[in-house]
Structure 1
Amino acid sequence: MHAQLGFCGGNSGDPIFTEDFGSGTTDGPELPAGTTTYNFTTGTPNDGEYTISSTTNYFDWLSLQDHTPGDSNGKAFIVNASFTAGEFYQRQVTGLCENTTYEFSSWLINLQSANSCEGNSIPVNVRFQIWDETDTNMLAQGDTGSIPATGTTEWEQYALVFKTEPGQTSVILKMRNNSNGGCGNDVAIDDILFRSCGDNVTVATAADEASLVVCEDQGGISRTLTATPDSSVFSTHAYQWQQSTDQQTWTDIPEENSAVFDTPAVTATTYFRTKIAEDIINVNNDLCNVVSDVFDITVLPIPAAPTSNGDVTICEGELGTLTVNTQNSYSINWYDAAIGGNLILSDNQNLEIGIAGTYYAEANSTEIECASTTRTAVTLTVNPSPVVPDDSSTFLCEDSSTSLDAEIENVTYQWSTGATTQQIDVAEPGEYDVIITNTNGCSATRKFTVEQIDLPRIDKIVSDGPTIVVSTANGGNFEYSLDGRSFQPSPFFDAVAGGFYTIYVQDNTNCGVVTEDFYHLVIPKFFTPNGDTFNDIFAPDGLEVFNSVTISIFDRYGKLLKFGNTNSTSWDGTFQGERLPEDDYWYLITADSIQLKGNFSLKR
């Protein structure tokens, strides 16, 4: 039985063999003799050919970079499969340890685009084999399975785990095409790697800490670490603890060869791990051992105090933003005291506030509590704004102007009209405002509402019996008068004798008076000729002012009942000596050039 493809299930050792095929812009060099049966080319590889190149820009293949991280013009093994399936690569790997489990891995990518071969591209399918050094005993093999042409530029890693036999220190790696060539089955291979495979080894403290972050001001920190292998590969365990400051260079710690290790007092970031092997003889042979998980003790330096961007001055009613800068993206906390005090705002380089005072910014680590030893003071000064009178409303008489006064001195003014004086004259109704700025540069705004008072506009004046009724075409707080001296709020003048009058109308804000002459003719609405000497005759009042007057009275059928002139303008309700019945009657009065018509009632 041979292992299928799969990665080491535990921890791995450092790489003991790598092949990244180099770098450069020139194709090659050709692989050593015996490595492949394919033909080398420095140009486009055809079926059964290969090249070592930093480009894959051949045919309609994907154009991509090699896999090796950090390479500049890194190369890969570019293979155009032969028409006949079979082996295309073999390489001997030496210097292994006997009875040791290893992981082989390599990165592959199908070079065909998604639309190659009209969508019928032959998939890549590679078999990895590990043989003993005699090339007669296969230790393990596994297939990638079909890798279709999807057009992705992401490399995929494949791995195979195997174990060397007693006395065996080298193996032969072989790669075979499981598919014939043709349109498709074009592959790039990079970063072939061998490394030892062992138990999954965790490192933790008794409190189950897998790492530790501390602040520099905590002094030397130490921990008791325990390495715990899962025994999935090794049956026995030998240890050698190591430490590093960069996880690149590791140094053995003398006499630390057990599963439990007490770290020294750490004052700077240090990393610890243990090498592990089944035999003490192999623990220091990097071809045979594996390494555990790394336990980090990260010592954070105490942050420097933040740098202030300057004190801030604002005006009353505004918000000021206090800001500081800090290195390494530390968190900033704001306090109301240089030491202790109350936390105002956390994790923000900007403090927005409107209360005058000095505030203190402290830098702190974003990982743990590790604060600067001092805090940076930033002061907010709040200057008073001008105290202005309340907004006001005023009135503007029609066709006149009024004065607006800011009513505060020793400041500057900016009116919405563009004026810059304390007072302005306006002749239009509307909204006006003035921005008042004091010597601190602080401003306040006062608003004025100007309403126009329109002069009354008399619409009509009528006589309603002895009452004069005045109507206006516009509304307002109007007052009315018949003599221009005594005004009343009512537009009705009752019991007014007939005659010529001048009607006066004014607004009660004294914006002006309008007048109109009116002839008031008092025509009774009814009369009662019943002999009681009260209202016995129909007699219009006010006709005496006219030079020539005629009056005609008719019944409802148009029959003339009375005709009189200037000397006879009344009627007693009779016709040819006969008393007429109760009814409505009509009159026609001609006074000089004026003609008046209407009706009245006779009641008995």
Structure 2
Amino acid sequence: MVPGGYEYQLELNGTETIPFGTAYNFTGLSAGNYTVTVRDSQGCEASVNVVLTDPLPINATIIPDTTLLSCFGDKSATITVSNVTGGQESNYTYTLNMTAPTVNASGPQTSPVFSGLGAGTYNVTVTDGYNCAFTTADVTIAEPEQIIASLVKATSQTCLTETTLTLSATGGTGIYEYSSDASFSSPDTFTTDVTFPVSPGTYSYYVRDANGCTSVVSNDIVIEELPELIVDLDITNATINCAGDATGVIVATAQGGLGNYIYTLQDAGGNDIPTATQDSPGVFTELLIGTYQVKVDSGDCLTTSSMISITEPDLPLNVEFTVTDVTCSGANNGLLEIIATGGTGIIKYAISPQLNQFFDSPIFENLASGNYQALAQDELGCYVLFDFEVNDPIPVSLTIVPNSIIPELCNGDNNGSFSIEISGGELPYNVALDDISGVYTTGTLTQTQFDFPNLSGGDHVVYVSDALGCESEWNITFPESVLINPILDIEYGCTNNLSTNTVTVSVDESNTDLSAFSYSLDGGAYQASNIFTNVPPGLDHYIDVSHTNGCVKRTEFFDISQYDPLALVLEDGELNQIIAVATGGSGDYEYTLNGEPYGSESTFIIYESGDYTVTVTDRFGCVATATKYYEYIDVCIPNYFTPNNDGNLDEWGPGCTNQYKDLKFSIFDRYGRKIATLRVGETWDGRYNGAELPSGDYWYVVKLNDTKDDREFVGHFTLYR
């Protein structure tokens, strides 16, 4: 045979570490004396010794050419790795690692020199051909702080002085030089900051340190030309609207200069007016007629406005008025007429409560009685405000005639009445009840009392008008009548299997104090309870309901039915069937069988032999119970049949199964072929697809499919021909 199917074994110092197998590559081994053995499919073996030794660890020195860069952001440092020993002793590669301020690494290189380095903390990983690695100690290359130049405005210019700027710097090394151009054509020096004056323009400066490190240019500062100080005047209201008033207003608004304006009002001779009212800077109010000017100070800047003259009208506004009182108390037909003279232009008029709503007409109509204010105002806002009163005549007054109120006791009787006495106003009086648009009764020239009969309960309203047509209405507090409206509720019950009844009378829900009612059955004694129990059977009963105010109302007539005691008898029904026959009680029977509810169903199917208890309950809760023993007849399955049309056993099927409405059965021949599937009440005639099957044994599977009896029958029977 040709050898093949090699297997390999590894031993360390004579001890097997990896048994024979197809793997021939052994990795992850430590130093030691190994033996590798190979054998072929014929069992022939060959071995070889392999000695693995640990190399010396790699070691190296890292040297930077500088530890401090000259300028912030320089990348001029170099790191060199030297004195590399150990490992493979050759074939080294070098990887530069930065550990701060960020962490990153360069790709491996064969050169031990790394140049173009900026500030940071570094180390170098040295790797040999065996992939053994060594990482040097960290070295840190620092850099000076970044030079940052800042230019700020030290002082602002005024009308007499220039702006000064302050240039300051931080970072870098030593004394700073600064220049307005990047070439430093004519630099100046400073230690930390320098301040100097400038004229209007845009300024920024370059700064470098003793090492020649140059910062970015400082921020720009723009020095604007100082605007000329001017003053604008608003003399829209520099006038006196009403003669003799001090309402003149001058508004001065300054621009330019140094801001922080101080306004001073002066007369035509340039003299300050120290008593002038200045509501806010530059706003002078409460001025009399005269000639004025405004002086404005803004630091060391100064200006004065032109002259302004304030004048006033020639004639003051004067007012006279006439008031006409209302004709009826509570009416609104009063009148005010205003006569105004003097003032300026068209005069308008207003009346309280809306004195800010003006009208052209000086006449105000339809005023109710009361105290008012009115004013007349001209085009310049001069006004005269005055108070006036619109008087009310003696009003009509109404009182109830003592002891005249006769209440309506029962709601709907309409037998209440009351009388009234009227005074005030002017006779004769006209009166109407409850309908302002209804028929009024006019009294005689001296009549002051009016009677109102045939009233329903509850408050009424009397409407009165006198001879002047003055109208008033009066609410008459009239006793409420009682709305009893008795309603019957008859409930039947059952106690000790005997019918009981409860008759309850309820009154209208508008009645909240039910203790005011009492009740009488069929003319008997009154009682406080509205419930009558076990009223005798009979026809045309009634209940009278009486209120403490004397109102009595009778219910409709009602009948109480007689019910016989509830009884129950159990009878035999069809196969495995119980029939419950209930008599008496109130009907609407509900049945249970051995505690299981069946509703109104009184016929029951049994599934096993034993005592069965049926309970019947009528709608009033009466209960009757009966118990009887019943024998269960199980499913009958014939063991043969003879389909010869002699009228005896001509078909086959399970019997005694009428109670199993979902029964199914299948028939199979001896080869397991399904011959037929039939339901309850059906039978097999010994045919398959219309052909007669031969004599022999056949199998059946009968499934009852009943929730209370889910049995399955399997067996065989014989067909004889």
Fold in common (TM above 0.5): no
Higher relative contact order (CA 8 A, sep 6+): 1
- Using the size of structure 2 for normalisation, the TM-score is 0.28
- Using the size of structure 1 for normalisation, the TM-score is 0.32
